[in-house]
Structure 1
Amino acid sequence: MVMGNHCSKKTEKQMITKLAEQTYFTEKEVKQWYKGFQQDCPDGKLTEKAFAKIYERFFPNGDPTRFARLLFHVFDENHDGTIEFEEFIRALSITSRGTMEEKLLWAFKLYDLDSDGYITREEMSSILDSMLIMIGDTSLEHIDPKERVDQIFHELDRNKDNRLSLDEFLEGSKSDPRIVQTLSLHKIL
């Protein structure tokens, strides 16, 4: 029985069991994450603003606002403007413990800003720019996102249409691990 936004113990247990089956986390881990999520989000919903605040703690030298906004929209699977625990734990499972293919599918969603099934140079540049701004590390000033994007497109864009399909992205990323490193920029994802 659900009362407001709070789960009864039985429903909570069922949810935890279900999420442990659907993710790479054990029931104990899901329960720990749920407890922390409930402490941070007593109403059961993580807002975009609160999500950005979390990233501010991890990247105090930069401005994670733009990257957090882009990332938030991938976590928010049902596009209701908040991240519920189930969405949070599924995304965390993939990004932290998923297979290479799962991580790449998830990254494709992040880079495909308009969700049209393709990554354009502009979309990739936008993500890489937001990562650099978030890090705020002056030692990375030598990194030119446009050069990185050109390099990635040179290697992955087989049909030279200036956009990457999911197949091009997956095949190219799997065949060259340097591309995955370039896309994640110090394992931010």
Structure 2
Amino acid sequence: MNLFHIQTAVHDIDRRSSFLADNFIGIAWPGTGDLEMHPPAAWKERLVSSYKLEGGELAASMETLHTFAEVMQDGDRVLIHDGHWIYIGDVGDYYYDDSCGIGEDLICHRRGVTWLGRVPLEEANDKVRELCHSSSTLAKFGHPVSQAQLEHMTIDAIEKSNDAPSVHVDGATVQSALDILKAALHSDKEDLRVRAAAAILQYTKA
């Protein structure tokens, strides 16, 4: 499992609210087309022809596309942040969504995200804060994920709209789910422990 940080500003518009509400992350350059349907050489050609990129800017854009489409994997962790909070998400598969077109203000390169919760920025260790303050569009944590110490932080549930419909679940089902999560806390897989801890903390704060 790897850990990444992604910038929420796309074309100078802060997309953090959309990322959180619609459970995805995304990057620019929709004109490249579906990255899974074309080889990197085609990405480069389209970055040059559609966006007139060259030199260092072209290289940086190619690196971002490569990281987003190929290095990042289902089950990895991603962080976004604002001035007060770091939001922690479980990354899903890459997909290309051009259903609304490929205008420059649209985000077609996407990955689904299950948001696990948030932690105060000030509680993160130096390595995590350094990752969050990276100037790169998409940055990979340069240390073992265990050194982020995310599982040791108190993860708050992300506030949801009060308009969302409530769903009743009987007590026996809730207890069975909690028993499974408690057992997962002792798994030898770090990502499973993190997910279980986040889910339990979200339940206790509900």
Regarding TM over 0.5, the answer is no
Q: Which has the higher strand share?
A: 2
TM-score by length of structure 2 reads 0.28
Relative contact order, higher structure (CA 8 A, sep 6+): 2
Q: Which has the higher helix share?
A: 1
TM-score by length of structure 1 reads 0.30
